[in-house]
Chains A and B, each alone.
Chain A
Amino acid sequence: MSFSSVCKKMPLFRECFEFNIPLWQCPSFLFLVLGLLNIAAMISTYFISNYFTDQPEITALMTILVSLIVFIIGSTIVRGFDKLIEANKMKTEFIRVASHQLRTPLSALRWALDFMAGGSIGQPTEEQKEYLQIMKDSDARMIKLVNDLLDVTKIEMGNLPLVLKPVNLAVIAQDIIRELSPMAKAANVSIVFEADEDLPMVLSDPDKMRMVFTNLMDNAIKYTKGKGQVNVAAQKKGDYIQVSVRDEGVGIPKNQQKFIFQKFFRSDNVMKHQTVGTGLGLFIVKAIVDANNGSIWFESQEDKGATFYFKIPIAK
C-alpha cells in the first residue's frame, strides 16, 4: 500500500482528494508537516544553543524565537494554499449551480418556445415565427455558453469525464456534417468528406468526439466569407487516425497563431467578421484530443484559410 493511498483513506486528507488537490498542496497535510518541522526546529535549536552558551535563559529564548519564525512562515504558506482550495471548491459549486439552476430555466424556455412555434396552441403568423426563432436562437446560444463554461471548469479541475468506447471517426464526421448542413447551406458553403474505406476504430468518448467535430466544422463554416468549400478527411496514418478540416476562410494571422488554443482567445480578423462566439471552442477541442492521447495542430495563412488536424490512436 503506497503512502498516498494510506493518506487517501484518512479523513483528515479526504477533502483534498475529493477536490483533486495533490497531497503537497493539501492544507491539513501541510499543517501536519509544519508541526513536525516546528518540533524538529525547536529540538535542534535547543541543542545548538546549548552547545554555544551555558545560560539556560538564552537557550530558551532562542528556541522560542526560532519556532515562532518557523510557525509564522509556515502558517502563511498554509493559508495561501487554503485559499487555493477555497477557489477549487467554488468551481465545483459553480458546476452544480450552472448545470442545474441555469440550465433548468433555459430548458423550460426552449421547450415553451418549441411548443408555441409548433402551432399546437394556435398557428403563429410569419412575423411571430420570426421572433420565436430569434428567442430560440438566443436561448440555444445561452445553453451553449453554459455548457462550454461547464466543460472549461471541468477541464481546469482536471476531471473532464471520458467514457471510452470503440468509435468510428468517419461515422461521427458524417453525422455532424448532416447536422450542420442547414447552417452550411445558409452560409453558401459546401462540405466535402473523404475517408479511407474500413477506417479502423479509435478508443474514445463518442459524445466528446462529436464536440470536437462540431466545433472544428462550425468554425470552418462560420469563418468562410461568401461562397466556399470545407474539406473534411479521415485517414489511417501509422498507429493513428488523422482527421483534417480545411476551410477557405479568413485564416489566422501569423502573430496570433500561438494563442489560438487559449481559452477566451479570438483573433482580431475574426472579430471583424464574426462577433458571435466565446473563444472557448478550440480550448475545449484541444483538451478533449489531449485527454484521448491524441494531438492537434493547424496550418493557416491569413485570408487563405486554415486546416486543423488532429490524430487519435487506433484502438488495439
Chain B
Amino acid sequence: MNKLILFVEDEPTLQKTLGRALEHEGYEVQSALDGQSGLALIKRIKPNIVLLDLILPKMDGFGVLKAIKEDPEIKDIPVIVLTNLESPQDVEKALSLGATTYLVKANYELDEVIKKVKEVIK
C-alpha cells in the first residue's frame, strides 16, 4: 500500500505543486487548508507523515504540533515543518514541540523537499 502523506497548507498553489510532485513519487497525498481540519484529519486517517505549515487559519502550526504530540494515538507520526518563518525562536519552538525537521520553503528546491520526505518516511 502506498504511504500516506498529509499536507497541511493554506496556500493552494503550494499544495498543488508539492502535492502532485509527491504523488508522482508514488505517495498518496491528502491535504487540509487550515490547522483545525488538519488536526481532525490526522486523527482520522493517521498518515505516515505530516507536512505542516506554521501560519495557518483557525489553529496555527504550533498548536497543531502540540496537539499531535499530546495525543498518544498520533504522537509518533513524524512532522516536517514547511514554512517561510525562519527566526531561530520559531525553529527552536517547533523542534522543542517535537517536529522532526524544519524546512524554510524559499530556501529549498522541490527535489530537496522530496528527499527530506523520503528520509523521514523510511
Task: Among A103, A115, A121, A163, point to the contact of B110 (Cβ < 8 A).
Answer: A115
Chain A proximity of B7: nearest CB distance (Å): 12
**Number of residues from B at the complex interface, CB < 8 A:** 22
- Please measure, in the bound complex, the distance between the C-alpha atom of A121 and the C-alpha atom of B105, giving whole angstroms: 22
In the assembly, what is the distance between CA of A110 and CA of B14, in Å? Answer: 10
| Interface residues as binary, B64-75 with A (CB distance below 8 Å gives 1, 0 otherwise) | 000000000000
B20 contacts the other chain (CB 8 A)? yes
Q: Count how many chain A residues have C-beta atoms less than 8 Å from C-beta atoms of the other chain.
A: 21
Beta-carbon nearest neighbor of A99 in chain B: B84
1/0 contact string of A79-94 vs chain B (CB within 8 Å): 0000000000000000
Q: CB distance B105 to A104 under 8 Å?
A: yes
Which residues of chain B come closer than 8 Å to A118, judged between CB atoms?
A: 21, 110-111
Q: A110-B110, A111-B21, A115-B20 are in contact. Are A163 and B88 (CB under 8 A)?
A: yes
Q: Is A120 an interface position by the 8 A CB rule? A: yes
The listed residue (B13, B55, B86, B111) touching A105 by CB distance below 8 A is: B13
Chain B 1-34 interface 0/1 with A at a Cβ cutoff of 8 Å (1 = within) = 0000000000101100110110010000000000
**How far, in Å, is B16 (CB) from chain A's closest CB?**
8
With A108-B17, A115-B21 known as contacts, the answer to whether A161 contacts B88 (CB < 8 A) is yes
- 12 further A-B contacts with Cβ under 8 Å, apart from A99-B86, A100-B84, are A106-B106, A107-B105, A108-B11, A110-B109, A111-B109, A111-B113, A114-B21, A118-B111, A143-B106, A161-B88, A161-B89, A163-B88
On B, residues with C-beta under 8 Å from A are: 11, 13-14, 17-18, 20-21, 24, 55, 84-89, 105-107, 109-111, 113
Closest 6 CB pairs of A and B: A114-B110, A107-B105, A108-B13, A103-B106, A111-B17, A111-B110
23 A-B pairs (CB sep. < 8 Å): A99-B84, A100-B55, A100-B84, A100-B85, A106-B106, A108-B11, A108-B14, A110-B110, A111-B14, A111-B17, A111-B110, A114-B21, A115-B17, A115-B20, A115-B24, A115-B110, A118-B110, A146-B106, A147-B106, A161-B87, A161-B88, A161-B89, A163-B88
